[in-house]
Amino acid sequence: MNPQKPYRDFAEFLRTIFPFKVQKISVNAGFTCPNRDGSKGRGGCTYCNNRSFSPGYGNPSRSVREQMNDGITFFSRKYPEMKYLAYFQSYTGTYGNPETLIARYEEALTCPGVVGLIVGTRPDCVPDALLDCFEALGKKTFVMLEYGVESTLNRTLDRINRQHSYEESAEMIRKTAARNIATGAHVILGLPGETTDEILSHAGTLSRLPLTALKLHQLQIIKGTVMAEEFRLKPESFHLFSPDEYVDLCVDFAERLKPDICIERFTSQSPKELLIAPAWDQKNYVITEKIVKRFRERATRQGRLYGQQPDEGVKGAVTSCNSSSAAHTSPAAAPLSPPSLHRRK
């Protein structure tokens, strides 16, 4: 980890791979989602309204090449030396006919200045044959698969209708890393029914996986989702963090995370017109700056408590995951890091 920084960020990881600056360009390739069309489930994950991060469902108005070229034109005016990673973010980036999928990835990779591919997907949606293709591609260019893990607790995954288990996430991340493909995980902090201690236990559980990078963000209630209706009917069953609480939660989380896993993101803000709560009204970079400041105020860093937590064990963390507060009462935790959050049990 860069000694100047209290946590390992994604830029630091990219610098170990590329001797130049790289920028991700998001593309919507028109893929859909097996948790919406009935092949895994219907209605989707309860928190998901894909419009909050995608301009259209399965029907992009511009080709992958056009979208990539739009992005490249935009960035290259200011940074002529910049190179690019194509980011298949919308819906499930590995769901579809394999020939079509590969054709879309290759379309992006042949755009000028593109040096790699990042594909966001579900952990139950990468068949071995496709993993073989990613492995072959990875021998020629940078490839990263980013999995929606969301929680390490199966009871939470059931509650949010993910239609996959944590075990499937863990297995897929291991299989992907075994092919020398970079691995990312996406996790939501504050899903309903999870105590603060359980949220923090995700850090220890995820640290046992061969993860390259982790994306975190706070739970947001988005209009038009199943969760929005649950929130309307039973708001007391949700705890939405205030910005200050969340800043401390992120520091607590990072302290428990293995130091070589990059934290690519701490927070996310959905468009105002789609967001019901929490209404932070603060840009992502502002929250991230507060997190960095809080690391310094607490004289702590990513990984400071890594390996000091009690061994939740993958099985215990997944199926019963009794909240363990021992991590917070560890004597080693006390001198450097004052108790930061009101613990919800």
Instruction: Point out which residues bind ligand SF4 (CB under 6 A).
Output: 33, 35-36, 44-45, 48, 50, 91-92, 122, 148
Identify any residues that bridge with 22 across adjacent strands, giving them in sequence order.
83
Between 51 and 62, name the residue whose CB sits nearer to ligand SF4. Answer: 51
| Cβ proximity to ligand SF4, 46 vs 300, nearer residue | 46
> By C-alpha distance, which of 152, 153, 147 is closest to 131?
147
Tell me the residue type at 200: L
Alpha-carbon distances of 146 from 55, 127, 260, rounded to whole Å: 20, 15, 17
- CA dist 287 and 189 (Å) reads 15
What is the rounded distance in angstroms from the CA atom of residue 93 to the CA atom of residue 90? 7
For ligand SF4, which residue has the nearest CB? 44
User: Least distance from C-beta 207 to ligand SF4, angstroms?
Assistant: 24
The residue among 28 and 92 lying less far from ligand SF4, judged by its C-beta, is: 92
DSSP 324: -
Nearer to ligand SF4, 91 or 166 (CB): 91
Shortest separation between residue 53's beta carbon and ligand SF4, angstroms: 9
**Percent helix, percent strand, percent coil in the chain, to nearest 5:** 40, 15, 45
Residue 183's H or E segment, with its range, is: strand 182-189
Q: Measured from the CB of residue 214, what is the shortest distance to ligand SF4 in angstroms?
A: 17
User: What is the closest distance, in whole angstroms, from the C-beta atom of residue 158 to ligand SF4 in the complex?
Assistant: 14
Contact between residue 263 and residue 257 where contact means Cβ atoms under 8 Å apart: yes
Cβ–Cβ < 8 Å for 217, 267: yes
> Residue 89: which region, alpha, beta or left (left: phi > 0; alpha: psi -120 to 50)?
alpha
> Between 220 and 323, whose beta carbon lies closer to ligand SF4?
220
Considering the complex, what minimum distance in angstroms separates the CB of residue 44 from ligand SF4?
3
Which is nearer to ligand SF4, 16 or 97 (by Cβ)? 97
Task: State the minimum distance, in angstroms, from the CB of residue 30 to ligand SF4.
Answer: 13
